Amino acid sequence: MANRSFYEKVVPDFGDPGQRTTTNPGFVLEVVERDGGVGIGLSTLDRSGFRMCHINADEAEEVVRALQEAIRLVRDKNAHSGNSWPPRVRPT
């Protein structure tokens, strides 16, 4: 069965979040539906290294809740500090 892709973008490497160097050029982050599950994939830009997890709907909702909590904390910190990262995610 084919994957239905919902998200596929280049995201920065945590080791170089500002993407100031080409040492850590980032990764391709993918979210797909496949065979009744959710796939979350991470690959190198040239796709030579690729890993994807396969989780069920309940597990995916747990990941979404964790992301929402992390986003809330980041927004709170940025509101108090005035810091914020500029947009760096780009299309594949």
pLDDT, tens digit, 9 for 90 and up, residues 59-92: 999 999 999 999 999 999 988 887 777 788 888 8
Reported in sequence order, the residue ranges of the chain that DSSP labels E, i.e. its strands, are: 4-11, 27-34, 37-44, 50-55, 90-91
Considering its fold, how many domains does the chain have in total? Answer: 1
Per-residue pLDDT tens digits for 9-63: 998 887 776 666 666 778 999 999 998 999 999 998 888 889 999 999 999 999 9
58 lies in which domain range? 4-91
pLDDT of amino acid 57: 97
pLDDT of amino acid 82: 78
Instruction: Compute the distance between CA of residue 61 and CA of residue 72 in angstroms, rounded to an integer.
Output: 16
Of the pLDDT bands very low, low, confident and very high (cuts 50, 70, 90), residue 1 is low
Structure tokens at 91: 């299309």
